[in-house]
Amino acid sequence: LRAAQGEPALNFASPWKPVDRSARTRQLVLAGVFGLIILGGLGWLWADGAVRSITRQIDPITKEAKGLKSRYDERQIELGAWRHLDAWARPEVDWLAHLDRVTDAMTPPPDMLLTEISGRMEAAPTFKPGQPLQDAASWAHVQRGTIRLSGLAADRDLTQSLRANLLASPTYAVHARGPETDGAFQLELTTPDTTPIDPPTPASDEVGSSR
């Protein structure tokens, strides 16, 4: 009865064993530890549930933010492309200047006649991946003009002379569109320039006077 009341009592099974006076204290400590374990487990369960609830609320917001960011990037790319197309379209191609440059490179008639000429300018904006969309250096536009020539020549040497004269200009790259014959020529010129660039002027040799 005294043991049930938590009071020290004589152990008749081992009468020589002293009374355990700290048993009550150990029981209280163990009960406290057990209570802390239960409270800690309940707290962890509550915190885990709260985190899961917040995560469920954040996930849709995160997906929506990613979608908005993707749409924003697409609009920025479109805006940059239109800006560079507009910048390219402002300077008009001076086709008359190109025609003058071609005719100046030809042998005068009747040895050489130009029967057909056509021109086309193409451009495309490009974006450097990984660069800021708002940075003008991240964008560039590549433009290429094509001029096609057809004509008559008294001999093949005149066609070779025309090709050499055009290649002397930094404006053009010259390509043959077909076989060169003594009677006709077909050439294709490509250039990135909207107007012809004058060839560099050769430096005049200085002649020193000898004394």
CATH number, domain of 139, equals: 3.30.1360.100
Does 39 lie in the same domain as 123?
Answer: no
Its pTM stands at 0.51
CA-angle at 45, arms to 40 and 51, nearest 5°: 120
Look at residue 48 and tell me if it is in a domain: yes
Q: What is the pLDDT of residue 31?
A: 73
Confidence of residue 208 (pLDDT cuts 50, 70, 90): very low
- Report which listed range, 4-18, 35-49, 151-165, 191-205, is most confident: 151-165
Domain span at 50: 1-90
Does 81 lie in the same domain as 140?
Answer: no
Look at residue 208 and tell me if it is in a domain: no
Look at residue 198 and tell me if it is in a domain: no
Q: In the structure encoding, which two tokens stand for residue 81, read together? A: 């492309």
Look at residue 84 and tell me if it is in a domain: yes
Q: Strands of 139-153's sheet, edge to edge?
A: 112-127, 139-153, 184-191, 173-176
Look at residue 201 and tell me if it is in a domain: no
Residue 180 CA to residue 60 CA, distance in Å, equals 69
How many domains in the chain? Answer: 2
Does 133 lie in the same domain as 69?
Answer: no
Q: What is the pLDDT of residue 205?
A: 46
3-class DSSP state of 77: helix
Beta bridge partners of 142: 124
State the average pLDDT for the chain: 76
